[in-house]
Chains A and B, each alone.
Chain A
Amino acid sequence: MKTIYTFGGVAPLTCHAFSADQRQIALSKNNNQVEIHEQSGSGPNGDKFALKDTLDQHDLRVNGIDWAPQTNRIVTCSADRNAYVWTQQPNGTWKHTLVLLRINRAATCVKWSPKENKFAIGSGARLISICYFEADNDWWLAKHVKKPIKSTITALDWHPNNCLVAAGSSDFKVRVFSGYVKDIEDKPSPTPWGSKMPFAHLMTEFSNSLHGGGWVHAVSFSADGTKLAWAGHDSSLSVADATKGLTIFKLKTAHLPLLSCLWVSPSTIIAAGHDCTPLVFNVDGAGQVSFVSKLEEDKKGDGGPAKFSAKALFQNKDRTGQSEVADTVLNTTHQNQISCIQIVKGNKDRADVISTSGGDGKLVLWDLRTIEKQMKGLKL
């Protein structure tokens, strides 16, 4: 089952993040503002979101939002090279704190660490800022991970141990770095990715393809942190397994490029992108990735020609004098690219509800449990 929400206007949604209780959503409509919408009523589905607050502090387009569930803090980053941490005051308003990122290009993506004591920000300055709170000076400090990044960081994800961070980049590489800040946390225990983790240490590096293979659009660690999935612009989805000697399995799909990917169970990845519909992929015990199905069935016979026909186009032109074919509606729920997938209910081990947003300004909640029942042979 899916629920569709719109937030007024047709502006694309750059990114979105839910609060811990799923009643509030922070989103950016492709501009410099972050809007917080709250759901009224009691039911989780069907109730409309109403604008509650606008976080207006950035000067340029907001590129990333993340909402920390336990500490209820929002972090936003933007093309104006700044990031703000927003904390809610007792009266419900949001207070911002500037983060000293020390970057000279746009900030592109942001992610809270699992323990929420730090966050990582990727930027066009070819570095990752690992930011943590310094109580002495009452500010957020950034440490830089620089080498050997050669281009813009496009995607980030934290390992569940709160120390490793995976970064996808437009230099066609996926890298796993250590984000261990010794000032604020205890030494991490060894992981399959390596045992020594000094700050900014490059644990491993993967090439999206021997042939370049396009930008990396999304990275995601599995729930146990042993596998890393990423999506590249060559329409591929790759999974690397640290317990199997960092072997990569790359699936070249027959679809348009994927922009976002997410583990929803230990063996299932949901990814979406320019195809406007979420796709389900399975990772089996041997590490092989295979395409399972779309998350929604193609609507057929809804009237209107399903297939584009050049003959019909010219016939239409001749008959009516109009050059437009009446049917420009895609047979998917989203009418434009999906750029952001988030888990709303559950976690990477077992996600129950996920949300997608993208270029058509829609936010869609997908209830995976009911979809699993409706679609035969689909295991999520």
Chain B
Amino acid sequence: MSKNTSSSAFRRIDVDQFNEDNFKDEAELPAHGEAGSPAASQLDSGPIMSLIQGGQPAEALKTILAHAPMGSTKAQEEKDAALQLVLKVLLSVKQQSQVENLVKQLDNDQRDTLMKYIYRGFETPSEGSSAHLLLWHEKVYEVAGVGSIVRVLSDRTKV
């Protein structure tokens, strides 16, 4: 007779791993097509910080967005560091007209990536950051439409 226990540990066993034709996300595979692309190179915070301080937020933003670490092959620390950099840029731009200008300078893919960072920025609010991010959200939405929000939701490679 088996013993009746209150243990529920068996519920946490990942039974799917024993299914041989279990769906595997391609992004999780190490040999992903993006490995050799510039996106794989390390994001260097030094030059970006000097761009921000030098009053060139547009250049800084474009550089980060072009090299944004995405997907599960990237370490979480790297992504967090990139998020902090993006937030620094976003919060350093104070004026509404300047925000509009910056958003217009980006291309469609960069706007989609920026939208991802805005939503991630909402996850970890700091003093006054959310209000300012809402302004960015509004401006990106004006240009890229609901499509960019849908792509934040549907993309499986998180920033």
Q: Tell whether, in the assembled complex, residue A214 and residue B145 are in contact, meaning their CB atoms are under 8 Å apart.
A: no
A105 vs B144: C-alpha distance when bound (angstroms): 38
With contact pairs A151-B23, A171-B23 given, residues A254 and B156 touching in the complex (Cβ less than 8 Å): no
The closest CB in chain A to the CB of B27 belongs to A212
Q: Tell whether, in the assembled complex, residue B147 and residue A212 are in contact, meaning their CB atoms are under 8 Å apart.
A: no
Q: Tell whether, in the assembled complex, residue B150 and residue A256 are in contact, meaning their CB atoms are under 8 Å apart.
A: yes
Contact digits for A122-165, partner B, Cβ 8 Å, 1 yes 0 no: 00000000000000000000000000001100000000000000
Q: Is the interface of B mostly helix, strand, loop or mixed?
A: helix
A142 vs B156: C-alpha distance when bound (angstroms): 35
Q: Tell whether, in the assembled complex, residue B150 and residue A210 are in contact, meaning their CB atoms are under 8 Å apart.
A: no
Q: Tell whether, in the assembled complex, residue B33 and residue A257 are in contact, meaning their CB atoms are under 8 Å apart.
A: no
Q: How far is the CB of A180 from chain B (nearest CB, A)?
A: 25
A352 within 8 A of B: no
A253 vs B23: C-alpha distance when bound (angstroms): 28
With contact pairs A150-B23, A171-B23, A212-B25 given, residues A252 and B156 touching in the complex (Cβ less than 8 Å): no
Q: How far is the CB of A309 from chain B (nearest CB, A)?
A: 15
**Chain B residues within an 8 Å CB radius of A233:** 150, 154
A319 within 8 A of B: no
**Chain B residues within an 8 Å CB radius of A254:** 144-148
**Chain A residues within an 8 Å CB radius of B70:** 211
Select which of A212, A235, A253 is within 8 A of B156 by beta carbon. Answer: A212
Q: Is the interface of A mostly helix, strand, loop or mixed?
A: loop
B50 within 8 A of A: no
With contact pairs A150-B23, A252-B112, A254-B145 given, residues A212 and B150 touching in the complex (Cβ less than 8 Å): no
Number of interface residues of B (CB under 8 A): 23
Number of interface residues of A (CB under 8 A): 20
Q: Tell whether, in the assembled complex, residue A253 and residue B155 are in contact, meaning their CB atoms are under 8 Å apart.
A: no
Contact digits for A204-244, partner B, Cβ 8 Å, 1 yes 0 no: 00010111111000000000000000001111000000000
Q: How far is the CB of B6 from chain A (nearest CB, A)?
A: 35
The closest CB in chain B to the CB of A207 belongs to B26
Q: How far is the CB of B117 from chain A (nearest CB, A)?
A: 14
A150-B23, A214-B154, A254-B148 are known; give 15 further A-B pairs, CB within 8 A. Answer: A210-B157, A211-B156, A212-B155, A213-B151, A213-B155, A234-B154, A234-B155, A252-B108, A252-B109, A252-B147, A253-B145, A253-B147, A254-B144, A254-B145, A256-B147
21 A/B residue pairs, CB under 8 Å, sorted by A: A150-B21, A150-B23, A151-B23, A211-B71, A212-B27, A212-B154, A213-B155, A233-B150, A234-B147, A234-B154, A234-B155, A252-B147, A252-B148, A253-B145, A253-B147, A254-B147, A255-B146, A256-B146, A256-B147, A256-B150, A257-B154
Q: Which residues of A contact B (CB under 8 A)?
A: 150-151, 171, 207, 209-214, 232-235, 252-257
